[in-house]
Each structure stands twice: as C-alpha cells, then as structure tokens.
C-alpha cells in the first residue's frame, strides 16, 4: 500500500509584507488504488457561514413534487412487469421512477414527507429506512432478472450546492449494467491488485489506515470509516468500507443501520464547519466480483465564493477531473474524529 505524494512550493513576493518572500506549499497525491491524482492546495480556514435557510427554502414547498399533497398525482409509476404496485412505500417514504432518468432503470426515493430537513436533523433511523426501501427495490429488480440488475447504486445529492434541484430530501436509486467511470476504474484496479498481491485492496487499505491512525475515524459494525488520502471534495471525502461485503445486495439491515449511523456522525462534524450540502455515492461490485468490497464516499459540497454562488467545481475538475482539497485530509480528519 503506497500513499504517494509530491510536495511542491510556490514562491511569491508578498504585498502585505513589503514584498517579502512568501512560500506557499502544495501537494499532489495519488490514490493508492487507481493512481488518480488529487491536489492539496488553495488552503483556507474550513469555516463557512450558513445561509438564511428560512429565506432559502421559503416558497419552494409550493410546487414541490415530493410533498405529500402532490406526490401521488405528479410522480410516475413503474410498469407492472417491473413493479405491479407501481411505486414502493415504506412509512412516509415513496420510491417511484426518476422522470429524468440517466439509465434504463432509475428511481427516486423520498426521505419522508418533510419538505426541508436540516442536515443534522435527518437522523440515522430515517437514512436507514431510505436505504432499506432502496434495497427492497433492488431485490425486486434482481428477482425478475432485469438485464440492468448488475450494479445497484444509491446516490445522494443533498441540497442545491451538491446538485439537487429540489429542497425536499431524496435519494437517487438506480440499477445499471453500465458501471460509472470511477466505479469501473476502481473495480478493474482492485482486480489487478488482487491478482498481483493475492489480497483484497480494500481489506489492506483498512489495515494500513488503522495502523497509520492519521486518517482512520472508527467503526460502526462491519463498516470502517476513514478520511480519503486523495480526496475529490474540496473539504475532503469520508470513505466507508463494509468488510466482507461485495455488493449492495449483500448489505444486511444491520449494515444499513450502521452505515446510516456513521453518516450522521460525519454530517454532524461537517455541520460544525458550516457545511450544509453533500454528495454520497455507493460503490458496489457486481455479483461474483469478490476482489472488491462495498464502500461509499461522502463528499461535502460548498462554494468557492458563497456570495456569488460560485460552485466548488471549476475547469480543473470539470474538464481534467483533477481535484483539489483546501486542507490536508489529516487535519480535516482531526475535526471529524471527535464524532467517532
Ligand atoms: Zn417538498
């Protein structure tokens, strides 16, 4: 397990100190699995002002398709060969086809009837139920032998800075035979790693991070939590790996509950920095790809300029897929670790 990094230094003349030399460090890290590079640079204090949520949310409930008074009349239903009941319900949560699908078989699951849920009020129990509902849908897709029933993925864009067009909290739930780029690259790299070393990359990573301590966070059941060495998010990424599990369908209800609990701890920590938006993706193998382990990434989202609503993704990330993180992941880890 190699945690490779290249240290760099920029030298400028500092106008705030009579043009004295100022040295600015930066670092380029390589992901130990894929070799994908991430820049640690653009350093700033991890402290944002949250917006006025009452003003932000005000009025958005009037046309919200996911609010209980509208949801049954505006959301589509699955055809009977996929789901005879059309939509799936679990308590106040509803799963239905995504009207803006990006694959043949996409669903959306609301996280309940409340239109706006502050990040720290989402709660582990609600997240668990959302995941249980998603898994019930995946099991149905597997049972009917649907050709897209290969990779079972849950994505979460929470709040507009993370790409959500709606305030009402919901999960993207989809099954696909076409693995998304990074997931496919990871699966291929993990297979090559297993062939070369005779061990599982993800098991080795957990061991290496537990030994190194500086990025390890803790465990919830079979799931190990850590800060990513080469994060994609500008405020770092949190990685959770579930030991002994290859695919989303292998996750037990206890695993889903443990994962939800860990997520609420991560949310609580980022909330203290003023973060109120995040992406979360499941990374799953297909059945039989035993060289991989189920894992997820939690990536906080913010702005480069909050006043102008400048997104935290610019040309570097959008067109080069080169990422930058505005603090050392080990320093961010220290700010999250208290929750574990
Ligand atoms: Zn709503």
Q: What residues does each domain of the chain span?
A: 64-303+328-339
How many angstroms does the Cα of residue 73 sit away from the middle of ligand 1? 14
How many angstroms does the Cα of residue 304 sit away from the middle of ligand 1? 28
How many angstroms does the Cα of residue 58 sit away from the middle of ligand 1? 11
How many angstroms does the Cα of residue 115 sit away from the middle of ligand 1? 4
Q: Which CA distances in Å does 144 have to 82, 88, 95?
A: 8, 16, 18
How many angstroms does the Cα of residue 171 sit away from the middle of ligand 1? 13
Burial class for 261, CB neighbours closer than 10 Å (0-12, 13-18, 19+): middle
Q: What share of the chain is helix, strand, coil (3-state, %, to 5)?
A: 30, 25, 40
> Domain 64-303+328-339 has what CATH class?
alpha beta
How many angstroms does the Cα of residue 65 sit away from the middle of ligand 1? 6
Tens digit of each residue's pLDDT, the chain (340 residues): 999 999 999 999 999 999 999 999 999 999 999 999 999 999 989 999 999 999 999 999 999 999 999 999 999 999 999 999 999 999 999 999 999 888 999 999 999 999 999 999 999 999 999 999 999 999 999 999 999 999 999 999 999 999 999 999 999 999 999 999 999 999 999 999 999 999 999 999 999 999 999 999 999 999 999 999 999 999 999 999 999 999 999 999 999 999 999 999 999 999 999 999 999 999 999 999 999 999 999 999 999 988 898 999 999 999 999 999 999 999 999 999 999 9
How many angstroms does the Cα of residue 279 sit away from the middle of ligand 1? 19
Name the pTM for this structure: 0.97
How many angstroms does the Cα of residue 92 sit away from the middle of ligand 1? 12
Buried b (16+ CB within 10 A) or exposed e, 207-219: ebbeeeebbbbeb
The residues near 325 (Cβ < 8 Å, ≥ 6 apart) are 38, 39, 40, 41, 231, 233, 234, 235, 236, 332
Tokens encoding 212: 């190194």
How many angstroms does the Cα of residue 217 sit away from the middle of ligand 1? 34
How many angstroms does the Cα of residue 294 sit away from the middle of ligand 1? 31
The pocket of ion ligand 1, defined by CB under 5 A, consists of 64, 66-67, 115, 168
């Amino acid at each position: 397990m190699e945690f490779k990094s290249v240290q760099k230094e920029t030298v400028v003349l500092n106008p705030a100190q009579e043009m004295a030399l100022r040295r600015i460090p930066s670092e380029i890290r390589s992901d130990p699995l894929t070799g994908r590079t991430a820049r640690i640079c653009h350093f700033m204090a991890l402290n944002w002002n949250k917006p006025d949520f009452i003003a932000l949310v005000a009025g958005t409930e009037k046309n919200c398709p996911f609010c209980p008074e509208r949801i049954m009349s505006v959301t589509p239903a699955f055809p009977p060969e996929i789901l005879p009941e059309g939509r799936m319900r679990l308590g106040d949560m509803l799963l239905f086809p995504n009207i803006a699908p990006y694959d043949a078989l996409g669903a959306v699951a609301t996280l309940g009837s409340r239109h706006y849920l502050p990040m720290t009020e989402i709660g582990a129990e609600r997240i668990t139920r959302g995941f249980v509902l998603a898994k019930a849908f995946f099991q149905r897709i597997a049972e009917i032998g649907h050709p897209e029933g290969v990779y079972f993925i849950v994505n979460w864009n929470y709040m507009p800075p993370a790409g959500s067009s709606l305030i009402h909290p919901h999960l993207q739930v989809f099954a696909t035979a076409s693995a998304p780029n990074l997931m496919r690259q990871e699966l291929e790299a993990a297979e090559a790693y297993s062939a070369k070393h005779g061990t599982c990359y993800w098991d080795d990573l957990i061991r290496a991070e537990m030994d190194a301590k500086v990025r390890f966070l803790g465990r919830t059941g079979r799931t190990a939590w850590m800060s990513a060495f080469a994060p994609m998010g500008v405020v770092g990424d949190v990685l959770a790996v579930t030991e002994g599990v290859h695919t989303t369908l292998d996750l037990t209800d206890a695993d889903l509950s443990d994962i939800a609990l860990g997520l609420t701890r991560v949310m609580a920590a980022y909330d203290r920095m003023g973060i109120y938006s995040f992406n979360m993706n499941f990374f799953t193998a297909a059945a039989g790809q035993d060289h991989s382990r189920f894992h997820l990434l939690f990536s906080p989202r913010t702005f480069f300029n909050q006043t102008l609503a400048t997104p935290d993704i610019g040309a570097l990330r959008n067109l080069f897929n080169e990422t930058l993180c505005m603090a050392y992941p080990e320093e961010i880890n220290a700010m999250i670790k208290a929750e574990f």
